[in-house]
Amino acid sequence: MNNTSTNLLVNGDFETGQLTGYSVCNMNSSRLSGGILPSQCARNGTYSFLDGSPSSPDYLWQKFTTIPQQQYKISFWLINSGPPPNSFKATVGPYTIQSGII
C-alpha cells in the first residue's frame, strides 16, 4: 500500500522471511497455523504467507497511519494452491473492499 511512492506497510512483501509488522490470528487454534516460507508461489522475491489449515482460516493484518483526504492504492496478490472452495476477504477499517471465492 502506498501514497505516491512511499510504502506504508512494514514487510509488505514478506521478504524479511518473518511476520515482522503483522499480527496473525488463528481463530480456532488449529494446529496447522500459517506462516512465512520460501515459496515458488511468491509474486516477486522469495517468501510468501501460507495459511496452513484448510478448514480454519488465519487472519493477517497490519495497522498503519494515513492522512485524511489522501488517496491510497491497495493491492495484493493471492493464489489458491488447494482444492476449492477457498475464500478471502480484504478489509480497510470496518469496510470490506474485496471478497470472493477462488
Dihedral of CA 20/46/31/98: which sign? positive
Instruction: Express each pLDDT in 79-88 by its tens digit.
Output: 777 777 777 8
* Cβ-Cβ contacts under 8 Å for 60 (sequence gap 6 or more): 19, 22, 23, 24, 34, 49
Angstrom distance (rounded) from CA 10 to CA 22: 8
pLDDT (tens digit per residue) in 7-64: 889 998 888 999 899 888 877 666 656 777 787 778 888 888 887 766 777 788 999 8
Q: Look up the pTM and report it.
A: 0.70
